[in-house]
Amino acid sequence: MHITVLGTGLVGSAIVKDLVSQTRFELAVVDVNQQALQGIADLPVRCIEADLQATEDFASLLDDCDLAICAVPGFMGFKTLEKIIKAGKPWWTFRFFPKMLFC
């Protein structure tokens, strides 16, 4: 299973470290912060530097993933999740939103 984690801050990096221990997953992580990506570069993950706020279409970022995990900061959560849904990928997030999501 290919999993892509969007965001490698405190929460995203913890998710990645936990998933790395599960050998059945192939992981990719996406973040604009090169320093955050370097913090997990020693793990067996594919690091992708990209600005998720500036990227309108996530199709190419999520092309080979089976699950997208949204771990971006709260102010980015809703828009990021909308882009994941538009890309047609299964997703998971731990965020609550002021707007309701209807899929």
Residues 6+ apart with CB under 8 A from 70: 6, 7, 77, 80, 81, 84, 91, 92, 93, 95
Provide the pLDDT for residue 23: 74
Provide the pLDDT for residue 91: 95
User: pLDDT 10s per residue in the chain (103 long)?
Assistant: 999 999 999 999 999 999 998 878 999 999 999 999 999 989 999 999 999 999 999 999 999 999 999 999 988 988 999 999 999 999 998 766 555 555 5
Q: How many domains is the chain partitioned into structurally? A: 1
What is the domain extent for residue 30? 2-93
Do the domain assignments include residue 100?
Answer: no
Strands 2-6 vs 67-70: parallel, antiparallel or unpaired? parallel
Do the domain assignments include residue 57?
Answer: yes
| Other CB atoms within 10 A of residue 3 CB | 21
Q: Which two three-digit tokens encode residue 60?
A: 């190419």
Provide the pLDDT for residue 32: 96
Q: Which of 39, 34, 35 is nearest to 16 (CA)?
A: 39
Do the domain assignments include residue 19?
Answer: yes
Query: What CATH number does residue 13 fall under?
Result: 3.40.50.720
Do the domain assignments include residue 24?
Answer: yes
